[in-house]
Structure 1
């Protein structure tokens, strides 16, 4: 504005000087011409400003006279606002990325409990599709009475445990809702399916161990009380020896159970190392000797063992798995049956340890449960033969720790075949095994 006043004053001064020299009419004409030029220039500047308004992100046009003082601060403010907005957008994107990286699910809900946003974890937990479910009530998405009661509360001091799905697809979620902002709600979801399964397994394991230990302890305590309460001459020597033999048998069963529990615990808690080349032929022959001692010549053994094959792994673990399969075959094969043992290299480079029997067989529906702890097809037969119900669970753990698979094929009344397949990456030649490894295998 000051520039405009100065310009008018200069044109007026020029007109006055020319009027004093050439006459008043000339002075007024010059003054009018100056004003006309100022109007034209101002109009040109306004047109340039009008064009700039349509591209306001660009710098204002230069040389626009008095408008420079007005537009420059406006442009600087707009530029600063754009920078602030970009920084806020970057912070918002960072927050979204952080929310997506959370191991727990997160949902934001409107005051009417309609879905505003959720991360991928929450979408996976609840089967959500944000593009489809945004704006829909969470009560229409999670249709369970317990969640409806939970969501309609005024305060949420405790989380809700919710079971969704059925059968193998059952999922257990921990949901916690809390208010935030103005009338909105934040809901956090956590998948505790595995934790719940582990807790159930732990409870079942404790109950099974207690049950397995109770039987031999009851027998032992009963015989001990009988022997203590009666005079020495009240029990014949043969009967006393029979009592002691039964007590010894029950003590041996408890010892075997504790040993298997310690083995299973060591497999689950110890780190899974790569190991070293182990020749399996001596381990298999040692296990065969033990199995034949249990068999007492009641079974026919058909054995084919490769002496040139070795496995990269742990000798003690492999010995346990080998022995468990052979012992089970002896226990569940009637007298006169055949037990076939094979240790060979397969055409695809894998190695296979296989134990097949002509025993009682297993129903197809029960095969998936065979490797469960304490599961027995025939409890009476297993206990009578000293089985703990942990042998196949140990064998499966050993196989998994060696990247191997345990395959089970069985037909009731015809027999069963158990096969451990070792991957080609674990197979090596027996010559690669160090001498101390061969000696340790023979000792086992």
Structure 2
């Protein structure tokens, strides 16, 4: 504004100075021409400003006269606002990335309990599709009566446990609803499927250990009470010897269970085994010698063993796995059955130890659970054969520690094939 007044004053001064020489009319004409020139220049400047206003992200036009003092602070403020918005967007993006990286699911709802956003974990937990489910009521998306009763409460002091089916798999989710902001709600989901399985396994393990030890303890206590309460002369030497043998048998059974439990604990303490090359041919031969003794000539053994094939690992663990598979085959194969023991190198460089029998076989529904601790297809028959119910669990852990796979193929009444397949990285030749 000051520059404009100064310019008008200059043109007026020029007209006044020229009036004595050129006349008053010439002075006024010069003053009028100056004003017209200023109006024309101002129009051009306003036109440039008008074009800039359509793209305010660009720097303002230079040299627009008195408008420079107006445009400069506006542009500086606009640039500062853009920087602040960019910084806020960066923070928001960081928060969104952090929310996406959360191991728990996060779902935001508006005041009408309609979905506004969710992270990928929540999509996996509940099967949400943000593109199609946004704006829909959470009660139409998560159709669980337990959740509906929980969400319609006035307060939510704790989470609710839901059991959902998603993609054919059952999941256990802890769902916590929390209000935040103004009329907004947050749902946090946590997958506790594995935790529930571990808790069930722990309970089953405690129950199974108690059950397995209770039988021999009952027998032992029964015989001890009998020997204590009966007069010494009422039992013959033969009866005493029989009672002592039965008690010794039950004590040895408890020792075997405890030994196998300690073995399992040792195997679980480290995920992988190092070791050195083990001549598996010798290990299998030793297991076969013990197998012949256990069989007592009642079975036919067929051997196919590569003597020079070695596995890098722990010999005692490998010997335990080899013996467990062979012992199971002997125990569950009827008299005159055939047991085939093989140790060979496959075409793709893997080493395979397999035990095939013509025994009673296993029903298909029982095969996935065979490696569980204390799982028995036929409890009565298993105890009669002297097994602890831990052999295949030990074998599975030995296989895992040696990066091997334990495969089981069987058909009820038609025999079984158990195989340990070791990766090429652990195979060597003697």
| 2:106 matches 1:106 | yes
In structure 2, list runs of 5 or more residues that go unmatched. none
TM-score, scaled relative to structure 2: 0.96
Q: For residue 387 of structure 1, what is the aligned residue in structure 2?
A: 387
Offset at residue 327 of structure 1 (A)? 1.0
Note if 1:14 corresponds to 2:14. yes
Alpha-carbon distance between aligned partners in 1 of 2:288 and 2:278, rounded to the nearest angstrom:
17
**Partner Cα distance (1:380, 1:363) in 2:** 17
Match of 1:291 in 2: 291
Match of 1:272, SS?
Answer: coil
Supply the RMSD in Å over aligned alpha carbons.
Answer: 1.5
1:282 is aligned to 282
* Distance in 1 separating the partners of 2:168 and 2:356: 31
Compute the displacement of 1:159 (Å): 0.8
User: C-alpha distance in 2, partners of 1:68/1:167?
Assistant: 65
Which residue of the partner structure matches residue 245 of structure 1? 245
Q: Compute the displacement of 1:413 (Å).
A: 3.2
1:234 aligns with 2:228: no
Measure the CA separation in 2 of the matches of 1:167 and 1:382: 37
Change (3 A) 1:3 1:414: closer
Match of 1:165 in 2: 165
**Separation of aligned partners in 1, 2:312 and 2:100:** 41
Structure 2 partner of 1:441 = none
1:361-407 deviation per Cα after TM superposition (whole angstroms, max 9, x unaligned)? 22233222222221222222221221011111111221222222222
Distance 1:411 1:81, change over 3 A: closer
Judge conservation of contact 2:126–2:166 (CA < 8 Å) in 1: no
Deviations 1:201-254 (A, max 9, x none): 110111011111100000000101111111211211111111111101111111
Q: Distance in 2 between matches of 1:380 and 1:26?
A: 131
Corresponding residue for residue 397 of structure 2? 397
More displaced stretch, 19-28 vs 303-312: 19-28
Give the aligned partner of residue 77 of structure 1.
77
Find the counterpart in structure 2 of residue 26 from structure 1: 26
Residue 241 of structure 2 corresponds to residue 202 of structure 1? no
Contact 2:352 2:421 in 1 (8 A): yes
Distance 1:280 1:246, change over 3 A: same
Does the alignment pair 1:146 with 2:123?
A: no
1:61-72 maps to which residues of 2 (within 5 A)? Answer: 61-72=61-72
1:332-376 CA-partner distances (Å, limit 9, x unpaired):
122222222111122222211111222222223322222222122
Query: Is 2:272–2:403's contact at 8 Å kept on the other side of the alignment?
Result: no
Partner of residue 55, structure 1: 55
CA distance in 1, matches of 2:238, 2:306: 49
Counterpart Cα distance in 2 of 1:415 and 1:3: 107
TM-score (norm 1): 0.94
- Write the distance in 2 (CA, Å) between the matches of 1:22 and 1:167: 99
Identify the residue that residue 321 of structure 1 maps to in structure 2.
Answer: 321
In the alignment, which residue of structure 1 is the partner of 2:424?
424
Structure 1 residue 168: Cα displacement = 6.2
Shift of 1:167: 10
Name the structure 2 match of 1:358: 358
2:4–2:66 contact (8 Å) kept in structure 1 = yes
